[in-house]
Structure 1
Amino acid sequence: MDSLVTERLLLTRPRMADSAPLLAYREANRAHLEPWEPQRNDRFYTMQAVEERLRQMARQAEENSAVYWLLRFPHSAQVVGECSFTNIVRGPFQACHLGFSLDSRHTGQGLMHEALVAAIADILDVHGLHRIMANYQPRNSGSEKLLRRLGFEREGLARKYLKIGGEWADHVLTSFINPRDGETPYA
């Protein structure tokens, strides 16, 4: 499936044609996302880096090790958010990590919740995963509320888990377990 449609959004798979809108999204949200992401150098905000990242996303999708979505309003090329299910592990684990970001101009409107309801249904039903893991910094109350509302449960605290903004940051570990576990035959 190359797209998902929600009440207000269109989720699409990233393509090379998305390089300019994705770069515009990165540039417009640089300061907004900086506290929550790894330290980025100026090269990250170039067309070359975006195109390299899109090629990497395509490879990972072909290898079935990741699923990526770009969020847009219908009939618009502008990217207003992203979500990804990465580090997909099969076998007895059947799990992945969720990542997401939203344009600062659209926070607090329930858009990411709307997008993730559709994307999570896809990752569970189409891809047959058992566990989705999502981690957030303790001071990120927005992500905490969103994940709780989606049904993610807190599993613990990982000290100095990821290097964010040049510093090792603690992260709350959460997960969502497929409520239909056992009904879907896994590949």
Structure 2
Amino acid sequence: MRYAQGGGLTDAERTTRERLRLQAVERFEGGQKNAEIAAALRISLRSVERWRRAWRESGEAGVLSKGSPGRPRLSEAQFDRLEQELERGPLAHGWADQRWTLAWIKTLIGRLFHVSYTVEGTWRLLKRHGWSWQQPTRRAIERDEDTVEVWKKETWPRVRAPRRSATPGSSSRMRPGSR
């Protein structure tokens, strides 16, 4: 079974699926055919065939769940250390900018803990611990907020092109006969 969006089964769903596989094993031992088992358990014939092959090769242990396929997660102590390192900033870790990127954080996790995360997995880890995506606003040092507000209120309305209003005689963007 494939999960196109990177999803998977939760622990409860994995347990339910394992229960189905064990019911299938009982039916294998009872001599039932794959199609009968698939219909009775309301699962695909292909799954039953895979399970039967695993059962023949390894017995009941072959159909038991192997656990979560997810990557190893950082412990709370490791995440606390990661936060301390993130607070030190990218410069302290050899990057030339003062803004963290997910790729840099991913690299830092690998350096500190020898655990590999994807960029998306790094984002999920940070989000799960209350971090948020932030983009710093770039402002000129010389910026004068009062002057900007005056310009927005007085100059901009005069400069921008007036909007055309739709009047009964104005042309329509629809082609004739397309109504």
**Structure with a larger share of its residues in strand:** 1
Q: Normalized per residue, which structure has more helix?
A: 2
Tell me which structure has the larger Cα radius of gyration: 2
Same fold (TM over 0.5): no
Task: Specify the TM-score bucket, using the shorter chain as the normaliser.
Answer: under 0.3
